[in-house]
Chains A and B, each alone.
Chain A
Amino acid sequence: MSVNVRIPTPLRKFTDSLESVPVEGSTVGEALQNLADTHPGIKQRLFTDEGKVRRFVNIFANEEDIRFLEQLDTMLEDGDELSIVPAIAGGAA
């Protein structure tokens, strides 16, 4: 199924400046992995070497923080929206 991933400004250099990228995936983890595979540079910025989402990166599935859902195992439905939001408001953007 296809979901839309909203990309924050500092990562848009890896998405040809696109604000939103459609990817396939039935879970949040699958969708982000597909995003990382098709957009080199994003992977190391989102994930640790152990494959976990970095501490300062918040992932929202339809406005819900996945930490309060099933983390990367959170199930997605066709047309869902994922947002990648740094845990801070200041600084580079």
Chain B
Amino acid sequence: MPHRSWTSRNSGIHPPKLHDNLLGMIGNTPLVRLSGVTRDLPAEVEVWAKLEFMNPGGSVKDRPARQIILDAIAQGLLGQGQRLIDATSGNTGIAYAMLGAALDIPVTLVMPGNTSEQRKRVVTAFGAEIIASSEMEGSDGAITLVREILEADTEGNYYYADQYSNPSNPLAHTLTTAPEIWKQTDARVTHFVACTGTSGTIMGTGRGLKGFSKEIQIIGAQPADAFHGLEGLKHMPSSIVPQIYDESLLDEIRWIETEAGWDMAEQLAVDEGIAAGNSGGANVVAALQVASTLEKGVVVTVICDHADRYMD
């Protein structure tokens, strides 16, 4: 067979897409079957990962950020000069900053002081303003500081996006992530597994998938301890529990050790060629735990962001 370079291959199956603006590029991320880290599973048990780092802002958070902003504009809460403000440890902040730049909406992000320098530089590049909260108090400290700023904001200069309470956050996943997974698996998905931070991904996708079939199992996962190193994730028993979190939607909860998530992120890079952030690693740990209990099934999880976001 004559040699054909990759770039000369017929791309007719997936023609390059055109978008009117950045907003249309969010979602419709690829779903990839994991074949290396799953080698000990029976062939009838499939584990698939949705590569959310393919979103233009580089993470799953583009979805809720778009929905939150569009809903706020539609409700007249944003878009007439108000600054969007929220507490974020990174990815949501990057998504807000990117969309704010695209839609000409000023953005203020309250981030814990130990947010990585790289993330701060990215949001600053998009023109967003950063206010630092205590590095000892994590995302709860950032939430508390936002509330203090809003109490002092008597003129209504801010629109509080409040990703932890905003129903538009899970709604984004009900409207996009869930139908994408349903379609991409040809309606074969049996389990959806994801760790909880704001819990928007698991709540919204879970609700959406249950709408397609009540048989689909929704499994949440959390850091095993309050003191952990899984970026963006919350240990609910010791945290300010997000208002959007409804544990009754979950069929099961798994507890993930930090090192297991970190190790899996590294293993995914080596075994699958997928360089995941450590929350994606934790998701795959949980997905493989679930998969190991099955004789047959289609388990879907999410790679929230890319490892290069953590290589300061």
Contact = CB atoms under 8 A, between A and B. Distances in A.
B238 interface: yes
A47 B112 CA distance: 24
Contacts of B226: 10-11, 13, 92
Give the interface residue-count category, chain B. Answer: 35 or more
Contact of B138 (A6, A9, A45, A56): A9
A11 B137 CA distance: 11
Interface of B, helix, strand, loop or mixed by DSSP? loop
A10 B140 CA distance: 11
A32 to B, nearest CB: 14
A71 B293 CA distance: 42
B137 A88 contact: no
Contacts of B89: 88-91
A91 B136 contact: no
A16 to B, nearest CB: 16
A56 B112 contact: no
A56 B116 CA distance: 13
B136 A83 contact: yes
Nearest to A44: B225
Interface string A67-86: 00000000000000001011
A92 B238 contact: yes
Contacts of A13: 226, 238
9 contacts: A7-B136, A9-B141, A10-B227, A45-B225, A54-B258, A88-B230, A89-B138, A90-B139, A92-B223
Which 7 pairs, one residue from A and one from B, show the smallest C-beta to C-beta distance? A56-B229, A93-B138, A90-B89, A92-B235, A10-B226, A89-B112, A89-B89
